[in-house]
Amino acid sequence: MAETDQKTPLSPARRWAAAAVLLLANFMNLIDITIVNVALPSMKNELAAPPNLIEWIVAGYTFSFAILLLPAGRMGDLLGRRKLFVSGIALFTAASLVCGIAPGIGTLVSARIVQGVGAAIMTPQTLALVPRLFPPEQRGAAFGLFALTAGLASVAGPIVGGVLLTADIYGLGWRPIFLVNIPLGIAAFIAALMLVPKGEGNRKLGIDKVGIAIAAVATLALLFPLVEAPSIGWQVWMYPMVIAAPILGWVFIRWQRHQEERNAPQLLPMRLLRSGSFLSGSLLNAALFTAVPSYFFTMALYLQAGYGLTPLQSGLTTTPFPLGVLLASATTGWFGSRWVRWRVMGGGILIATGFAGQLWAIWTMGDTISWWRMAPWFFFGGFGLGNTVSPLFQVSLSAADSNDSGSASGAVQAIRQVGISFGIAIMGGIFFGMLGGAEPGDHEAYRGAMMSAIGYAMVIASVVILTPWFTPMKIERAKD
């Protein structure tokens, strides 16, 4: 199939067609995280698996995905981003097939780990390819669509999972939640070869093997307790890992500085770590994502365990959120790269409004869930998220030059993944702590737990509103 050289200009139609392929792959990865949670009880029953192995269906994917994001982004810089992108799709799709036909829990967990590896290989390339596809004035619209896919995936996962489980296609039970990736993955693979421009990468950048090892150990030391704690509680052995994680992070930065001084390969170039735009954009994005996914995690528990809604009903209750993100994707295209600071602050205000409105709705609903009372606040939150994430992506990735966009993309998404895990641990801890030993269906207990969890989300929304006043929040000159 024909490949486009990196310097060949692309027509507008070709740009957006290629972007659609990237968005499909990104959506396929993101929805696979949320859709699995719905099916865990069915997997446990069919496979007769112990709770600790069932937990690893989620944890194994999370670890392999998060640990490899940064090195996979850098490998895209070295070897070519399209090459890594299609390789990741192929591996993710093959692993999905193995998940769907897995005869036992061991095979399923192993395939999920490999699936996470495939997702980690392809995901950093999606954002890194945006500067290659679009001129600076159109990148805001493209990044807005990535925010849309994140919003859609967070809500669509439970809905699609509920539909597939209820349909019980050919008596396959939970297996179609993985098998549905097969046609999508094949389509994305073929379309990527046809539409995504080829780039040879820059092999002169080299491979920082020591940096990869330090980053992997630091990420695992931080994520392992955060992912395990919500299910088994905080154990004594977790605390040394949490303490070691920032120390290893410091060692990693020192090593990168050492590599820079001797003009040796760097996994995460120091020029990015010195950039106020990269740090402010990526860290604020991570802070935001400590609240949003954990908000939907606790909301699902509130609606399903607290009020008896099915996964499908729970997912449909939250559908105004991705509708808000969808509308925001149109406005971010119009804004382009203008008024970044004010857009982040305004988005934070809308997110805070959505959380505050949800507090009011939960407080006043009593013993019956009212979709109409909750819907406007989901919509406000989604609209705010869409208007916040796009400029944060623009700010972060504008700091990278053409040799480092994969590394920057991998770092942004790795930091965000750590933020998600932090959020689940913290917000989930607040929720379960307030819930205590309450039985499912105890409306008052679940209402109080959900309101307490939203209180944490309100704090994060306040951070999003205030941070642009004190930190660099600008799009740097593109270095293509």
Say whether both 316 and 454 belong to one domain: yes
For residue 429, being part of any structural domain is answered with yes
Say whether both 332 and 223 belong to one domain: no
For residue 480, being part of any structural domain is answered with no
Say whether both 229 and 309 belong to one domain: no
Residue 448 has a pLDDT of 93
CA distance 341 to 465: 10
CATH code, domain carrying 70 = 1.20.1250.20
Say whether both 196 and 217 belong to one domain: no
Residue 288 has a pLDDT of 92
Residue 451 has a pLDDT of 95
Say whether both 280 and 223 belong to one domain: no
Q: ∠ at Cα 472 (385, 333), nearest 5°?
A: 40
Say whether both 248 and 300 belong to one domain: no
Q: Which residue range is the domain that position 243 belongs to?
A: 208-264
Residue 9 has a pLDDT of 64
Say whether both 66 and 48 belong to one domain: yes
Task: Examine the fold and report which residue of 243, 264, 285 is the final residue of a domain before the chain moves on.
Answer: 264
The contacts of residue 466 (CB under 8 Å, 6+ apart) are none
Say whether both 397 and 368 belong to one domain: yes
For residue 3, being part of any structural domain is answered with no
Say whether both 74 and 144 belong to one domain: yes
Say whether both 123 and 140 belong to one domain: yes
Tens place of pLDDT per residue across the chain (480 aa): 333 334 456 787 888 899 899 999 888 888 887 788 778 778 888 888 777 777 788 888 888 988 998 899 888 888 888 999 999 999 999 999 999 999 999 999 999 999 999 999 998 898 888 888 888 777 777 877 887 787 777 777 777 887 888 788 888 888 999 999 999 999 999 999 999 888 777 777 888 899 999 999 999 998 888 888 777 778 899 999 999 999 999 999 999 999 999 989 888 888 888 888 888 889 999 999 899 888 988 888 899 888 988 877 887 888 898 888 888 877 776 776 778 888 899 999 999 999 999 999 999 987 888 889 999 999 999 999 988 988 888 888 888 777 788 888 888 888 888 888 888 888 888 998 898 888 888 899 999 999 999 999 999 999 999 998 888 777 766 454
For residue 299, being part of any structural domain is answered with yes
Amino acid identity for residue 349 in this structure: I
Say whether both 216 and 292 belong to one domain: no
Task: Examine the fold and report which residue of 219, 247, 264 is the final residue of a domain before the chain moves on.
Answer: 264
Say whether both 213 and 332 belong to one domain: no
pTM: 0.84
Residue 381 has a pLDDT of 92
For residue 477, being part of any structural domain is answered with no
The total domain count for the chain is: 2
